[in-house]
Chain A
Amino acid sequence: MIAALALENITCTFVSPDNARQRYTAVRDASLSVAPGEFVSVVGPTGCGKTTLLNVAAGLLAPSSGSVRVHGEPLEGINARAGYLFQSEALMPWRSALGNVVAGLEFRGVAPHEAADRANDWLRRVGLAGFGDRYPHQLSGGMRKRVSLAQTLILDPKILLMDEPFAALDVQTRQLMENELLELWSADRKSVVFITHDLEEAISLSDRVVVLSAGPETHPIGEYLIDLPRPRDVSEIRLSPRFIEIHTEIWHAMKDEVLKGYAQQRQ
Chain B
Amino acid sequence: MLRVWQALLLVALLAIWHVGTSPTLLPPLYFDNPDKAAFFFGEPLTVLSRIWNWFYGGEIYRHLWVTLVETILAFAVGTLSGLVVGIWLARAPMASAILDPYIKGLNAMPRLILAPIFFVWFGLGVASKVAIGVTLVFFIVFFNVYQGVREVSPVVLANTRMLGASPRQLLRHVYLPSAMSWVFASLHNSVGLAFVGAVVGEYLGSSEGVGYLILQAEGVFDINTVFAGIVVLTVFALVLDSMVSFAEKRLMVWQPRSGETERT
Contact = CB atoms under 8 A, between A and B. Distances in A.
Interface stretch (A62-70, A75-83, A112-120, A173-181): A75-83
B174 A84 contact: no
A107 B163 contact: yes
Instruction: Tell which of B155, B162, B166 has the most Cβ of chain A within 10 Å.
Output: B162
A123 to B, nearest CB: 16
A69 B71 CA distance: 58
Nearest to B251: A94
A243 to B, nearest CB: 33
Contacts of A58: 158, 162
Given A93-B254, A137-B256, A82 B156 contact: no
Contact of A92 (B161, B174, B253): B174
A93 B157 CA distance: 12
Contact of B163 (A89, A93, A138, A151): A151
Given A93-B254, A135-B253, A80 B158 contact: no
A91 interface: yes
B156 A91 contact: yes
B62 interface: no
B254 A135 contact: yes
A89 B155 contact: yes
A61 to B, nearest CB: 10
A83 B162 contact: yes
A155 B163 CA distance: 8
A89 B159 CA distance: 10
Interface string A73-104: 00000111011101011111111100000011
Given A92-B173, A93-B254, A137-B256, A107 B156 contact: no
Interface in B221-264: 253-256
Contact of A86 (B155, B173, B255): B155
B125 interface: no
Nearest to A83: B162
B181 interface: yes
Instruction: Tell which of A55, A82, A137 has the most Cβ of chain B within 10 Å.
Output: A137
Contacts of B173: 92, 103, 107
Chain B binding site: helix, strand, loop or mixed by DSSP? helix
A2 interface: no
B179 to A, nearest CB: 11
A15 interface: no
Nearest to A61: B158
B160 interface: yes
Interface in B130-170: 153, 155-156, 158-166, 169
Contact of B181 (A89, A94, A95, A151): A94
Contacts of B164: 78, 80, 104, 107-108, 155
Contacts of A169: none
Contacts of B156: 89-93
Contact of A90 (B158, B177, B180, B255): B158
Contacts of B161: 60, 78
B180 to A, nearest CB: 8
Nearest to B177: A94
Interface in A140-167: 148, 151-152, 155
Contact of B159 (A80, A84, A108, A138): A84
B1 to A, nearest CB: 31
Nearest to A58: B162
A116 to B, nearest CB: 16
A174 to B, nearest CB: 20
Given A94-B254, A137-B254, A137-B256, A86 B166 contact: no
A103 B181 contact: no
A108 B163 CA distance: 9
Nearest to A134: B254
B166 A89 contact: no
A115 to B, nearest CB: 12
A78 B254 contact: no
A168 to B, nearest CB: 12
Given A84-B159, A89-B153, A107 B165 contact: yes
B169 A82 contact: no
Contacts of B178: 94
Contacts of A84: 158-159, 162
Contacts of B253: 135
Given A58-B158, A82-B162, A90-B159, 4 more contacts: A84-B159, A93-B255, A135-B254, A138-B256
**Chain A to chain B: the 5 pairs with minimum beta-carbon distance, closest first:** A90-B159, A137-B256, A104-B163, A94-B177, A84-B162
